[in-house]
Structure 1
Amino acid sequence: MGTTSSALLIINKKGVLERQFSYAEGLLNNNIRSIFIDHHQNLWLGLDDGISFIAFNSAIKHIYPDRNKQISSYASRIFDHKLYVGTSNGLFSAPVSLGQTDISNSKSKFAEVNNTKGQTWGLAEINKHLLLANEEGAFDIKGNNAKQLYDAIGTWLYRPLGDKVITGTYTGLQILDFKNDEFINNRNFLSLNEPLRFVAIDKKVNCIWAAHPYRGIFKMDLLQMVSRSLKQLCLQRKTAYH
């Protein structure tokens, strides 16, 4: 249904409103003169001052946690009935109804998670906790608040290892212990002070592989974790960084 002030309304056969597309969702204005459905089941809207296209039959949806700012999104995850989106300006959350077949039809407002300002690099669910990797460090997300696990070390990612978690940071690898349903900062590997954004745990050969954009691949023997021994396997100064 095209309207003169409420833009486009989509109702089901029972007359229940399911979706609304208006200026707030990206239309040029709210006065719709005509509607056309193409053979791909997408929508073309004739407006007062132009044409708007809605990829209605696409599996890809655009979500804007903060429409007032130019931000990029780097991670997203549904956790504890909320959709979390990690952006270049912090972490945002919105409640979702998991009973729907398509949660993109949910009407929710995003709220900024407290204490998460800054660049987000990743989100991970480990031991029923949501962990945030941020330029300011590591955080345990609880509802709309973030508990900082360690600071002054930008964190790229998390890799679970038994009752511990290995994190890749701006200054090497860090270890988190998991005790009494809480993550506790253990220590970092002081023998390697390099940014490690890509980390993989190889349990078959008991080692951790870590990649550096210019210095190549590093291998750490898990049997020698106490001695924090790191062995550099190769040096590729022209390795591309992705």
Structure 2
Amino acid sequence: MQSLENKVVYITGGSKGIGFGIAKVLLDNGLKVAISARNYEDLQKARQSLGDENVLIIQSDVSKFEDEVKAVEQIVATFGKLDVVVANAGVGKFSPVDEMSLEDWNAMIGTNLTGVFHTLKATVDQLKQHKGYYISIASLAGTNFFAKGAGYNASKFGVVGFTQAAMLDLRSYDIKCTTIMPGSVTSHFANHVPEADGWKIQPADLGEMVVHLLQMNPNVLPSKIEVRPSKTS
């Protein structure tokens, strides 16, 4: 089992939902965590909720490469290195393709897909140096299309393909790449307010999955993981 001691993790979209849940589990397991989001007030609330001195909050819009470069600089300045990246930031806007606005399309592609590339591009030197781990959070929508999901499907299909190709490009540097593809998750995604969602995947469940990935034998690489609720409701 691989040690988690002294590992430093960067989680995009870490102020709420899946990113926050992953951050909480990793902190509970003794890792140092940096979380980013666009809204600084949300980040401050997240830090207060996490209540841990090993949390660094960073305001960053992943659709802007320069923001991600600055984020990495802050992480290295604070913690001295970066070992693990969880590219989680995402948005969802759903409408029939003939009614979809250019703004909604660009928001999803810019954040969900281009943002994943920006995050890897900005962190790859640190990952090479520390034989790190890059994890993207995609979706079952990355292989299963649905009505009113053209933009979201396009972005998440792209994340799956991007991460799998990156895995082949980077494993010669001893960098691992995995994409996790959750189904229904209890979160605030797409302005949802969680209520009686106990049957769904919980963000902490995905955090535990990340811990398992980091602890696996270095000879083993689950490169793509589909995860669903065990029941439908």
Instruction: Give TM-score scaled by structure 2 length.
Output: 0.21
Name the larger-Rg structure: 1
- Where relative contact order (Cα < 8 A, 6+ residues apart) is larger, the structure is 2
Structure number with higher helix proportion: 2
